[in-house]
Amino acid sequence: MLLRTFTRMGISLTGPSVAGGGDVAFVNAAAIDPAHVVQFYEDDAFLLESMTRFVGAGLGAGDAAIVIATPRHRNGLEKRLGARGVDLRIARRQGRYIALDAAETLSALMADGCPDEIRFRAVVGETIERAARGGRGVRAFGEMVALLWDAGRRDAALRLEGLWNELAERAQFSLLCAYPMHGFNREADGESFLQVCGTHGDIVPAESYTRLTDGRERLMAIGHLQQKARALEAEVAQRKRAEEALRARNATLRALIQASPVPIAVIEPDTTVRLWNPAAERVFGWSAAEVLGRPIPIVPEDQRAECRRVHEVLLTGESFSGVETHRLRRDGSRVDVLIAAAPLGSANGPPREMVLLFEDITERKRAEVEREGLLRTAERARADAEAASRAKDEFLSVVSHELRTPLAAMLGWVSVLKTGATGDRATRALDTIERSGRAQAKLIEDLLDVSRIVTGGMRLDLRLVDLPAVIREAVDTIRPTADVKGVRLEARLDPTAGPVAGDADRLQQIAWNLLSNAVKFTPAGGLVEVCLERRDDDVRLAVRDTGRGISAEFLPFVFERFRQADSAVSRRTGGLGLGLAIVRHLVELHGGAVAVASNGEGRGAEFAITLPLTPFKVDAARSGRAPRLLDGLGILVVDDDVDTQESLRILLEALGARVTTAGSVREAREALRRLTPDAVVSDIGLPDEDGYALVRELRATDRLRPIPAIAVTGRDAGQDAGRAVAAGYQVRLDKPVDLELLVAAISQLTVAPQGASAAPGR
């Protein structure tokens, strides 16, 4: 019966070349009539032959045929039917041949991506009804399902098969569906293959089976197929195991990559990122989502070309490690890295990807730089120390020379005297001995001053000083030396240039040092000019000479200790090279400044110092506008006399100071525990403990040591001056306090760049 049905339908189970006949054992005996047959095929020619027989037999029997097929299959069919002498034009005219495009028809059936029952009935159902007019039998060939299958939309395909079957229950027609075998290539397709078969009444296998002619061959083929199936199953099982192992290994690798503290990236030759682990996210600040599928964003502009070169090397199969370079973070900051890189090869063929491992060495580099910096600093410190040590050695050698030379002269002349020299020779001996002795005393004085400067022990006994008189004295002292040497000495001293608050002896020392220096370095016939002038806020003393001058290189160092332009000079001119250093220190202690200018060697030099005028004079000159001279300064006043306390408080506060008072050392101690004043003004004669005790305590405490202190003592000043300074006061003033002088002292001591207690080495 099945054979009859198939034969009637024109479908041959034995292949297109063998008409009729053949074994029936392979076909389901329950095949219905009219049938819903599925035809599997491997190539188009076989399908077309099948279609041709199916349609041709129907048309030949007077039935109608509906062909819903791809254009290629429709054309093939029509060409073959024409070759068999079927006149399709007549059949069309009679409504017995209806050809529809499979894709177009399918799209007409679809609603929301799924075959729609109502549309299906409207389109396909009505076409079948139309074809069946006049009681004609209908044969339909459909490929829409195959199109859906091919597109991977298997659910939709099976749904469409269902619609065909539902339609078949209402309308009488035979349906031939065609599925290409390549739609079932995967092992997993077995299930769907059976599903497709299940939606059809009859199944025609593809040609590799139907082509076989006799039963033995077919049984052999079935046996072979069974063998193949077993082998395939075994193969599949093995592959599954291999896949499982691979999956496990991949999982391990993935876990390693995820957990790795080392940033790892995989990139393609065009730097597209394929892998980016959490360490890379952490170090570079780019999340995997941001970089995957994009060019790697961490290569600095100036390294792109180098990178491309490296990639080319990698792609030849080379790998490398330990390349030190830098990359950029997301925020543009720099990461120092060591890079290791290797090509990721396919088993055969050139590598297509590269794996990059980065070691973040930013911290290590920073530490290295720091260490180098420390080394350099230490190196510098050592060099400085060595230079200082050399300077000191040289200085000692100079000191030795300068002390021994006058000693040699003195002792030499003493020897001469001892031999009983008389007359001119004796006079010369005594003159030389006296002069050498004085020179040596001066050297020793200078050395002691330098020692005081270094240890911070230099103190001033501040008074109001008539500066022109002091300078005049210094000029008079030096004049005989200048006369002997043939150097002219001219002085222009402005009598209004003063008064200044200062230590008269030290101010004279300053002037004398500058003058003797000028005379020393000026040859016979030269000129030394001294000019003292008053300016707005200060007085300026300039000593100009026409002497040897100073080279530009040495100019910055003239005020440094132990420095003379060179050792030979020191031998030619004598002296220790300390005078100017002492000048600078003394001037700065007075709140003033030093300056030097020279047009170069052989062209003379000018040394100038400026000293602040006492503040009240400045005030007066500024016609009533009263700058608050002590603005913001904190001052501790210690005096057991309440009236003195109060008057000092009122006067100092009027000038802008914040004044704290104490009646005893104990109270002062209390106050100093709470605050760190800018200056301390203390009486010496206090109950219980005196002002010496207070200042000793100040100097013994780190926090309080730098605070300038001013002692206020009674009438027997002369004796107290030395003692107050020795105890640690910078300045001592007479009682009753001259407020002008006190303010000058406070403002100088708090403004001076280096206080009397300057650190050694300044």
Partner 1 sequence: VNVTGGHAGAHRILVVEDDEDVRGALSAMLQGEGYDVVEAVDGCEALQRLRGGAPVCLILLDIFMPGMDGWAFRAEQMKDPALADIPVLVITADSAAATEALARGAVSALTKPVEFDRLLRVVEQHC
Burial grade of 211 (CB within 10 A; 0-12, 13-18, 19 or more) = middle
To the nearest whole angstrom, how small is the minimum distance from the Cβ of residue 366 to partner 1? 49
Task: Kindly report the number of other CB atoms within 10 A of residue 406's CB atom.
Answer: 20
Token pair of 751, please? 């403004």
Nearer to partner 1, 250 or 415 (CB): 415
Token pair of 153, please? 């939309």
- Gap between the Cα atoms of 3 and 12, Å rounded: 9
Nearer to partner 1, 93 or 435 (CB): 435
Nearer to partner 1, 130 or 435 (CB): 435
To the nearest whole angstrom, how small is the minimum distance from the Cβ of residue 401 to partner 1? 4
Residue 279 is which amino acid? A
To the nearest whole angstrom, how small is the minimum distance from the Cβ of residue 548 to partner 1? 12
- List residues near partner 1 by CB under 8 A: 397, 400-401, 404-413, 415-416, 419, 421, 425, 428-429, 432, 435-436, 568-569, 571-572
Q: If residue 311 lies in a helix (H) or strand (E), which one and from where to where?
A: helix 304-315
Q: If residue 338 lies in a helix (H) or strand (E), which one and from where to where?
A: strand 334-344
To the nearest whole angstrom, how small is the minimum distance from the Cβ of residue 400 to partner 1? 6
To the nearest whole angstrom, how small is the minimum distance from the Cβ of residue 461 to partner 1? 35
To the nearest whole angstrom, how small is the minimum distance from the Cβ of residue 474 to partner 1? 25
Nearer to partner 1, 410 or 648 (CB): 410
To the nearest whole angstrom, how small is the minimum distance from the Cβ of residue 421 to partner 1? 7
Q: If residue 107 lies in a helix (H) or strand (E), which one and from where to where?
A: helix 102-109
Q: What is the DSSP letter of 613?
A: P
Nearer to partner 1, 421 or 693 (CB): 421
Q: Which residues pair with 598 in a beta bridge?
A: 605
Nearer to partner 1, 9 or 398 (CB): 398
To the nearest whole angstrom, how small is the minimum distance from the Cβ of residue 740 to partner 1? 48
Nearer to partner 1, 324 or 431 (CB): 431
Nearer to partner 1, 301 or 424 (CB): 424
| Rounded alpha-carbon distances, angstroms, from residue 610 to 351, 513, 537 | 81, 15, 10
Positive/negative CA dihedral, 306, 312, 318, 319:
positive
Nearer to partner 1, 436 or 516 (CB): 436
To the nearest whole angstrom, how small is the minimum distance from the Cβ of residue 429 to partner 1? 7
Token pair of 480, please? 């005989």
Buried/exposed code over 622-660 (b: 16+ C-beta within 10 A; e: otherwise): eeeeeeebbeebbbbbbbbeeebbebbbebbeebebbbb
DSSP string computed for 191-249: HHHHHHHHT-SEEE--HHHHT--SHHHHHHHHHHHHHHHHHHHHHHHHHHHHHHHHHHH
To the nearest whole angstrom, how small is the minimum distance from the Cβ of residue 393 to partner 1? 11
To the nearest whole angstrom, how small is the minimum distance from the Cβ of residue 395 to partner 1? 13
Buried/exposed code over 116-150 (b: 16+ C-beta within 10 A; e: otherwise): bbeebbebbbebbeebbeeebbbbbbbbbbbbbbe
3-class secondary structure, 686: coil
Nearer to partner 1, 188 or 568 (CB): 568
Q: Label each residue of 258-298 as H, E or C.
A: HHCCCCEEEECCCCEEEEECHHHHHHHCCCHHHHECCECCC
Closest CA to 36 of 196, 190, 177: 177
Nearer to partner 1, 105 or 522 (CB): 522
